[in-house]
């Protein structure tokens, strides 16, 4: 039982980091350095992430990161990529998969990032679970990179990009050619991660393109879950760990119900005039596969996300995330955010959301994190204090949840 003076351990299941171009150069294979220098000289990022120099350094300055995280009460984190690796056209999560003629150099770029990430997490290995990047263009390369990430201490696993419908040179995630990769990840306990922002098509340039892109991000971010369930991947690999992050979870019950109904109709041949070979239809419900294999990193959760997590999604399937260092994340108001959305819950449930589930999925040692929590983490009594008004300069996360709470009042 947690008492009012006990400190919560907070693990963020969604943060971001990446090297600067100068840092990535140090981790690039020598044979690509000259090409990198020529590319870097001409490069202009169309999606420059954190415009302010002081904000940008939070991607790679380890000491600055610790200052910010500890001040926010966060003592450990799962780290996704965030910057622009060598030879990438833009911010890593929005970049299209490499075309065949780009593949060699783009692969060299993500491997430089992975080496950088190994070095970065080594500065605080008990508190940082780094995630490596792979490409799906070549399954043998993907397997080799997944194994390399595991053997070099990236216990966050690997990030797979959702395959855009316009990337017809890469097979979709439901294709059985990837079974060799899933088998390795299941056998070696390598978590497979997908993150919102990947998988969008190559949009035609036009003034409305950014609006359409951002509206459709949720749909394309959900496709990996749909592909893996309907493709029978979780039926064939029941021990595969799959996490979907920074996409919320309030939408999951409706999507699971839709897939459950579709699969049931296919098994009974009650989908209009369509008839299906029974061997092609996964034998269990999408909801069962979700609870067997899937995990959700819910960044800056809203009250609707918390409600879904306590229902169909399952409290043991969800971990809280801050989305540091992004401006839509909870920093520097994480304490206020937690008071706002989970402060009314039982302390043990809060601790499970803030650390227990992430520790189980990504292999954090909670005993090793407790001294950091005792020094920096909020107390049970602090989070139980209702947030009656927003602080000055309240961020997007606080404002969004406040709006939901006001509508439901």
- What is the distance between the terminal CA atoms of the chain, rounded to a whole angstrom? 31
- What per-residue confidence (pLDDT) applies to 272? 73
Write out the two tokens for 120: 């970065």
- What per-residue confidence (pLDDT) applies to 54? 74
- What per-residue confidence (pLDDT) applies to 21? 95
The residues, ordered by sequence, that sit 6+ positions from 393 with a Cβ below 8 Å of its Cβ are none
- What per-residue confidence (pLDDT) applies to 235? 98
φ and ψ at residue 80, rounded to 5 degrees: -95, 165
The answer to whether position 74 is within a domain reads yes
- What per-residue confidence (pLDDT) applies to 266? 87
The answer to whether position 3 is within a domain reads no
Q: Quick one: residue 314, left, alpha or beta (phi over 0 = left, psi -120 to 50 = alpha)?
A: left
φ and ψ at residue 192, rounded to 5 degrees: -105, 125
The answer to whether position 1 is within a domain reads no
The answer to whether position 111 is within a domain reads yes
Summarised one tens digit per residue, pLDDT across range 122-143 is 999 999 999 999 999 999 999 9
Count of domains forming the chain: 1
The answer to whether position 333 is within a domain reads yes
DSSP alpha helices (H): ranges in 152-197? 179-187
Cα(143)–Cα(123) distance, rounded to whole angstroms?
27
Instruction: State which residues of the chain have pLDDT below 50.
Output: 49-50
The answer to whether position 4 is within a domain reads no
* Strand segments (E) across 73-125: 76-81
Contact in structure between 322 and 12 (CB atoms under 8 Å): yes
The answer to whether position 312 is within a domain reads yes
DSSP state, 353?
I
Residue that is written with structure tokens 């050619």 in the block: 177
Summarised one tens digit per residue, pLDDT across range 180-236 is 999 999 999 999 999 999 999 999 999 999 999 999 999 999 999 999 999 999 999
The answer to whether position 222 is within a domain reads yes
- Residue 112 sits in a domain whose CATH number is 3.20.20.140
- What per-residue confidence (pLDDT) applies to 191? 99
Strands 76-81 and 11-17: parallel
DSSP state, 300?
S
Instruction: For residue 301, give its domain range.
Output: 11-408
């Amino acid at each position: 039982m947690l008492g009012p003076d006990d400190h919560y351990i907070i693990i963020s299941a969604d943060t971001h980091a990446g090297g600067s171009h100068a840092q990535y150069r140090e981790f690039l294979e020598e044979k690509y350095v000259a090409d990198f220098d020529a590319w870097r000289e001409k490069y202009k990022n169309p999606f420059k992430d954190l415009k302010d120099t002081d904000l940008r350094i939070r991607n790679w300055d380890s000491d600055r990161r610790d200052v910010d995280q500890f001040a926010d009460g966060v003592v450990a984190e799962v780290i996704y990529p965030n910057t622009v690796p060598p030879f990438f056209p833009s911010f890593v999560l929005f970049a299209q998969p490499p075309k065949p003629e780009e593949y060699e150099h783009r692969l060299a770029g993500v491997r430089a990032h992975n080496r950088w990430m190994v070095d970065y997490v080594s500065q605080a290995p008990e508190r940082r679970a780094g995630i490596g990047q792979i490409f799906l263009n070549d399954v043998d390369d993907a397997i080799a990179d997944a194994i390399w990430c595991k053997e070099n201490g990236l216990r966050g696993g690997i990030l797979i990009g959702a395959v855009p419908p316009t990337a017809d040179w890469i097979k979709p995630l439901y294709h059985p050619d990837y079974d060799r990769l899933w088998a390795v990840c299941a056998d070696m306990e390598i978590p497979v991660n997908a993150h919102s922002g990947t998988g969008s098509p190559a949009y035609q340039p036009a003034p409305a393109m950014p609006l359409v892109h951002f509206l459709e991000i949720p749909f394309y971010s959900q496709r990996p879950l749909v592909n893996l369930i309907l493709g029978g991947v979780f039926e064939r690999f029941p021990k595969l760990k799959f996490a979907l992050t920074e996409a919320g979870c309030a939408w999951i019950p409706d999507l699971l119900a839709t897939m459950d109904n579709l699969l049931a109709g296919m098994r009974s041949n009650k989908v209009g005039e369509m008839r299906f070979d029974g061997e092609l239809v996964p034998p269990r419900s999408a909801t069962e596969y979700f609870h067997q294999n899937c995990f959700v990193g819910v960044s800056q959760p809203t009250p609707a996300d918390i409600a879904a997590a306590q229902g169909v999604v399952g409290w043991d399937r969800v971990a809280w995330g801050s989305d540091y260092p992004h401006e839509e994340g909870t920093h520097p108001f994480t304490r206020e955010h937690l008071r706002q959305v989970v402060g009314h819950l039982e302390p043990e449930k809060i601790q499970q959301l803030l650390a227990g589930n992430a520790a189980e999925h990504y292999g954090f040692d909670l005993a090793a994190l407790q001294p950091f929590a005792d020094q920096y983490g909020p107390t049970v009594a602090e989070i139980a204090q209702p947030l009656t008004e927003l602080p000055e300069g309240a961020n997007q996360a606080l404002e969004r949840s406040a709006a939901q709470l006001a509508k439901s009042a």
